[in-house]
Amino acid sequence: MNTFLLPDLGEGLTEAEIVRWLVKVGDIITVDTPVAEVETAKSVVELPAPYAGTVEELHGDPGTVVPVGKPLITIAAAAAGTPREAKAGSAGDAYRQEERAGSGNVLIGYGTGDGAAVGRRRRPRGPVVSGSSVPPSGNNPPKNPLVVSPLVRRMARDAGVDLKGLVGSGEGGLIVRRDVEEVIARRFETQPAGQDSRTGLGELRREPMSGFRKAVAATLSRSRAEIPEATTWVDVDATALVELRESLRSAKDSGPGLLALMARFVVAGLQRYPELNGFVDTEREELVQYDGINLGLAAQTDRGLVVPAVQNAHRLTTRALDAEIKRLTESARSGRLTPYELSCGTFTLNNYGSFGVDGSAAIINHPQVAILGVGRIIDRPWVVNGELAIRKLTQLSLVFDHRVCDGGTAAAFLRFVADAFENPASVFADL
């Protein structure tokens, strides 16, 4: 009687859920017959049996969670006496030998590999020299490698290791995990200088990260690590916004730019939904809202992306916003921004449409809690009053910290800004 224990499925996982059984009690199976599908936190895996015989017991119904190392299926050994049964028994013995040889619980579920079909059994072979890493000498024709674990076959296949060239260090010449690992390790030891060991490709260049890039990396990494972010977006008819911008032009005055108009709508939206204009005080477990808005504006420079902020944007008119945006943009390009201007923002507006793209899954500028992105404004077909028309369309995308508000608040803010794009005159009347 052999009991197949749930093997270590890798990635540090400690349990798996039985999805469905592929066999039933009383079925006669051979080595490598798929017996069950189990689901881990990573994937659904098909488990082949390491033993041949008759299914005696299934340890759990579909939906049962089985810890690693606990019984999964019990198989009654086939009666000895026939060559077919002897071969199956040999493969089952080899499975146990590999575990004793130091490969640990064997990862099952990657198929038999090397052209072996499901249910195929391997022939026992004569004695070999244990521990050798070279094939035996002589004129004997090559034999199939003695390897049972699907993990070992998978490792060898992924690394391009020819198992036919190995004689295993396990009992009876069984090829175990450490044999393949040794071949891979020796290969990396002789890796040419400047060649990446993972991909085998040469390195074109290496350059140290600048202090600026290190600071950006630290901020973005902290944002991804700490903030449970969510994204919501909407397509917007910005025709009226573009028309308003054009109407503000004159021979003597170019008028405020589109970004200034957008900034004005964002400020108005934050005043209505202040949850998005704050930060999370994790030490005191408090949600903080600012009394005022410093509007950050993402700007691409030769040094990289910077986010200077328009201080007290809530106190500025649209023309004053336009003037401050132009000043900050020029300072960013010339490298004259102050540390305070680069760090005082409370919310970020990112006009990535200037790069010719429609959308982006932006990263929140920690410790802020939200960022609004605006895609390019282009002519597209749009239904207006039941008829198809060509309109100026853009996409707004809001990424927000789900700790500070739920989707309803985020959607309401996004809809407010979208409505302002579509009907700016009515919004200005309320400001």
User: Does residue 253 sit in the same domain as residue 316?
Assistant: yes
Instruction: Kindly state whether residue 99 falls inside one of the protein's structural domains.
Output: yes
Residue ranges with strand state E in 68-137: 71-77
Percent of the chain's residues with pLDDT above 70: 77
pLDDT value, residue 199: 67
Within a 13 Å sphere around the CA of 91, how many CA atoms are in the beta-carbon half?
28
CA distances from 70 to 1, 13, 59, 106 (A): 16, 14, 9, 14
pTM greater than the 0.85 cutoff? no
User: Does residue 175 sit in the same domain as residue 274?
Assistant: no
Query: Residue range 386-393: average pLDDT?
Result: 97
Instruction: Identify the residue with better confidence: 152 or 83.
Output: 152
The confidence band for 79, taking pLDDT boundaries of 50, 70 and 90, is low
**Nearest CA among 71, 65, 157 for reference residue 111:** 157
The confidence band for 109, taking pLDDT boundaries of 50, 70 and 90, is very low
Distance CA 238, CA 420 (A): 9
Distance CA 178, CA 183 (A): 9
User: Does residue 184 sit in the same domain as residue 282?
Assistant: no
Query: Residue range 221-234: average pLDDT?
Result: 91
- The top-scoring range by mean pLDDT among 113-117, 212-216, 291-295 is 291-295
Do residues 345 and 307 make contact, with C-beta atoms less than 8 angstroms apart?
yes
Which range, of 236-245, 264-273, 332-341, averages the lowest pLDDT?
Answer: 332-341
Residue 27 has pLDDT above 80, yes or no: yes
Catalytic residue IDs: 402
Residue type, 252: K
From first CA to last CA, the distance across the chain in angstroms is 81
Element (DSSP H or E) covering residue 281:
strand 278-281
The contacts of residue 332 (CB under 8 Å, 6+ apart) are: 299, 301, 306, 308
Structure tokens at 71: 């019984």
User: Does residue 165 sit in the same domain as residue 261?
Assistant: no
Instruction: Kindly state whether residue 277 falls inside one of the protein's structural domains.
Output: yes
User: Does residue 320 sit in the same domain as residue 411?
Assistant: yes
User: Does residue 258 sit in the same domain as residue 179?
Assistant: no
pLDDT tens sequence across 126-174: 333 333 344 444 445 445 667 656 667 777 877 788 888 888 887 778 8
pLDDT value, residue 165: 80
pLDDT tens sequence across 286-329: 999 999 999 999 988 887 788 999 999 999 999 999 999 999 99
Instruction: Kindly state whether residue 196 falls inside one of the protein's structural domains.
Output: no
Query: Residue range 13-27: average pLDDT?
Result: 89
Domain, as residue range, for 78: 2-189
The confidence band for 218, taking pLDDT boundaries of 50, 70 and 90, is confident
User: Does residue 237 sit in the same domain as residue 317?
Assistant: yes
Instruction: Kindly state whether residue 222 falls inside one of the protein's structural domains.
Output: yes
Instruction: Identify the residue with better confidence: 374 or 132.
Output: 374
User: Does residue 184 sit in the same domain as residue 227?
Assistant: no
Instruction: Kindly state whether residue 199 falls inside one of the protein's structural domains.
Output: no
pLDDT value, residue 341: 92
Which range, of 34-43, 89-98, 184-193, averages the lowest pLDDT?
Answer: 89-98
Instruction: Kindly state whether residue 205 falls inside one of the protein's structural domains.
Output: no
The contacts of residue 281 (CB under 8 Å, 6+ apart) are: 287, 288
pLDDT value, residue 204: 74
User: How many structural domains are present in the chain?
Assistant: 2
Instruction: Kindly state whether residue 130 falls inside one of the protein's structural domains.
Output: yes
CATH number at residue 169: 2.40.50.100
User: Does residue 169 sit in the same domain as residue 245?
Assistant: no
Residue 399 has pLDDT above 60, yes or no: yes
User: Does residue 169 sit in the same domain as residue 259?
Assistant: no
User: Does residue 418 sit in the same domain as residue 283?
Assistant: yes
pLDDT value, residue 358: 93
Instruction: Kindly state whether residue 204 falls inside one of the protein's structural domains.
Output: no
Q: What share of the chain is helix, strand, coil (3-state, %, to 5)?
A: 35, 25, 45
What's the chain's length in residues? 431
Query: Residue range 218-237: average pLDDT?
Result: 91
Distance CA 143, CA 251 (A): 88
Residue 30 has pLDDT above 50, yes or no: yes
User: Does residue 251 sit in the same domain as residue 372?
Assistant: yes
The contacts of residue 308 (CB under 8 Å, 6+ apart) are: 296, 297, 299, 328, 331, 332, 337, 341, 342, 345
Distance CA 233, CA 251 (A): 37
Q: Which of 136, 158, 189 is the last residue of a domain?
A: 189
